[in-house]
Amino acid sequence: MAGRALPTSAVILAAGKGTRMHSSRPKVLHQVGGKPLLAWVLRAAREAGCQHLFVVVGHGADEVRAELGAEDVTWVEQNDQLGTGHALAQVERHLEGPAMLLVLSGDVPLVSSTTLVDLVDLANRGWGAMAVAELPDPGSLGRVVTGANSNLERIVEALDATAEESAIKWVNAGLYALPAPEIFAHLADLETDNAKGEFYLTDALTAAAAAGREVALFTLPDSSEAWGVNDRRDLARIQQEVLRRKTDQLMAAGVTILDPGVTTVEWDVEIGTDTVIHPQVSLSGSTRIGSGCVLNQGVWIRDSTLGDNVSVEPYSVLDGAEASDSCRIGPFARLRPGAVLLAGARVGNFVEVKNSRLGEGVKANHLAYLGDTTVGAESNVGAGVVTCNYDGQAKHHTEIGRNVFIGSDTMLVAPVEVGDDAVTAAGSVVNKDVPPGALAIERTEQRNILGWAKRRIAWRKNKKNT
Ligand code: UD1
Ligand code: MG
């Protein structure tokens, strides 16, 4: 049969309550791989080249729109969630002419764009098409009964199925290509005489098939594309699958992952070749890691950028930080938002850095807090140094020049500036600017009281005897 060439629009059904999630959040905002379920479906639809995207929202609509508001879509309201058939029917008034509707479920995130293109092609060769898969454990998914011509005969929802129908392993993935306006006529005839008391979209397909429409079955190339999220176990299973795909991709591209089963890498994270990732590392958000880095056990990184050959020692936490080539971080370091380390800088154990720029080769190796601070190249920050950046009301800046030596336990009371090549004496509280090359020393002079220890012993003995 000659193919039709209807314009394709995607409709994503995302209004349902998701009762079995037992959540205060809309189901489609739950995340896998660091992104909401709905964002996965939207991305696949866009990559499939859909001209127009409709998203049907209802339960938690404001939250959904707020979280995905940047997306260029038409939001369609389904004020009462009366079922998937009712959800699709809400789109009718927004359509301007005949179209092939790629109808997707907002809770079926692993569908690929190539599948969607193939599904539309198949539908254009006949009347409509739907994606099916054979699953060993079909659970709550609708069962597909095939007719003599290997097209759809009917779909039976799990809750409405007889024992015999429940045993069918072929499931409805909730992904369809259906022609408009024809599908709306079938939706208009829907009844709610089923276990959920809802208008089932699946009943409209069954009715179309009964009316002699060819609904072709498209077998998904990878059955995980059919996995839907109806409860938290479904969510965990898909999360595991996304993680497996991500770590597989990274390893194929030249990243060493010592134990992929205990490594978490969100989908959008990028990692360069020859980087080695030890167990229990977690990488999330927009994190980008360069080549030849080593991320040791227990490292946690979010929304951060590392250059090449950076070594992050065990149990360090980086959030919104940047580190250039050959930096060394940790163990037990904490880099907070706005921490910027230039090439070769070192931040050691129990050092916290926030909104601060550490120049090339800077060392802050032990037990320090650097907040709202700039440190010039090659300067050394001693153990126990604190930039006292907060006066209880406002934050203030500390400026440390190049090649400066900040002695251990110096308190730098901001706003304060320490010039190039200057030194601060250990234990000093520095609240005045230090000129370049100067020594700032602020502490009482040491007294040595000779013979004092012996006298103390004698005094104690004496006290006991009286
Ligand atoms: C549905 C299918 C089932 C299929 C499965 C695939 C029906 C009746 N059943 O079941 O055959 O195997 O998907 O995952 O369609 N939604 C709305 N408005 C509503 C109800 C639901 O927008 O009134 C949305 C939901 O937000 C969800 C999608 O439609 O994103 C599917 O709804 P859900 O309740 O999860 O249907 P399933 O029981 O999974
Ligand atoms: Mg579902």
Give the tens place of pLDDT for each residue, 409-435: 999 999 999 999 999 999 999 999 999
**Cα distance between residue 207 and residue 205, in whole Å:** 5
| pLDDT for the residue 2 | 47
DSSP label of 325: T
Q: Do 64 and 47 fall within a single domain?
A: yes
Give the tens place of pLDDT for each residue, 144-186: 999 888 999 999 999 999 999 999 999 999 999 999 999 999 9
- CATH number at 395 reads 2.160.10.10
> Which are the contacts of 267, defined by CB distance < 8 A and separation ≥ 6?
33, 34, 35, 242, 246
Catalogue the long-range contacts made by 291-298 (C-beta closer than 8 Å, 24 or more residues apart): 296/330, 296/331
Can you list the residues of the chain whose pLDDT is less than 70? 1-3
Asked if residue 279 belongs to a domain, the reply is: yes
Name the residue with the closest Cα to ligand 1, atom 10: 141
Evaluate whether 400 touches 418 at the Cβ level (below 8 Å): yes
Counted domains in the chain = 2
Tokens of 390: 């907060």
**Domain end call among 226, 259, 288:** 226
Q: Do 205 and 150 fall within a single domain?
A: yes
Q: Do 140 and 259 fall within a single domain?
A: no
Active site residue 22: no
Q: Do 194 and 263 fall within a single domain?
A: no
Look-up: residue for tokens 């060819």? 214
Q: Do 245 and 146 fall within a single domain?
A: no
| pLDDT for the residue 51 | 76
Helix (H, G, I), strand (E, B) or coil at 290: coil
Instruction: For ligand 2, an ion, list residues with CB under 5 A.
Output: 107, 228, 230
230 lines ligand 1 (CB under 6 A): yes
Asked if residue 464 belongs to a domain, the reply is: no
Asked if residue 1 belongs to a domain, the reply is: no
Residues spanned by the domain of 342: 232-440
Asked if residue 450 belongs to a domain, the reply is: no
Q: Do 358 and 430 fall within a single domain?
A: yes
- Residue of 105, 199, 237 to test ligand 1 pocket, by largest number of atoms within 8 Å of CB: 105
**Cα distance between residue 232 and residue 21, in whole Å:** 6
Asked if residue 305 belongs to a domain, the reply is: yes
Q: Do 267 and 219 fall within a single domain?
A: no
**Cα distance between residue 358 and residue 345, in whole Å:** 7
Name the residue with the closest Cα to ligand 1, atom 3: 142
**Cα distance between residue 395 and residue 248, in whole Å:** 45
The percentage of residues in the chain with a pLDDT greater than 70, rounded to a whole number, is 99
Of the listed ligands, the closest to the CA of 160 is 1
Nearest ligand 1 atom to alpha carbon 107: 30
Evaluate whether 323 touches 309 at the Cβ level (below 8 Å): no
- CATH number at 205 reads 3.90.550.10
Tokens of 371: 């907040």
End-to-end Cα, the chain, rounded Å: 116
DSSP label of 225: G
Q: Do 260 and 151 fall within a single domain?
A: no
Evaluate whether 120 touches 206 at the Cβ level (below 8 Å): no
Q: Do 218 and 288 fall within a single domain?
A: no
Nearest ligand 1 atom to alpha carbon 83: 23
Q: Which helix (H) or strand (E) holds 68?
A: helix 61-68
Q: Do 297 and 432 fall within a single domain?
A: yes
Q: Do 26 and 175 fall within a single domain?
A: yes
Asked if residue 446 belongs to a domain, the reply is: no
206 lines ligand 1 (CB under 6 A): no
Task: Give me the catalytic one of 52, 366, 396, 397.
Answer: 366
Of the listed ligands, the closest to the CA of 76 is 1
**Domain end call among 195, 226, 257:** 226
Q: Do 167 and 243 fall within a single domain?
A: no
Tokens of 346: 């070192």
**Domain end call among 168, 201, 226:** 226
Asked if residue 448 belongs to a domain, the reply is: no
Across-strand partners of 424? 406, 440
**Cα distance between residue 303 and residue 317, in whole Å:** 11
Asked if residue 290 belongs to a domain, the reply is: yes
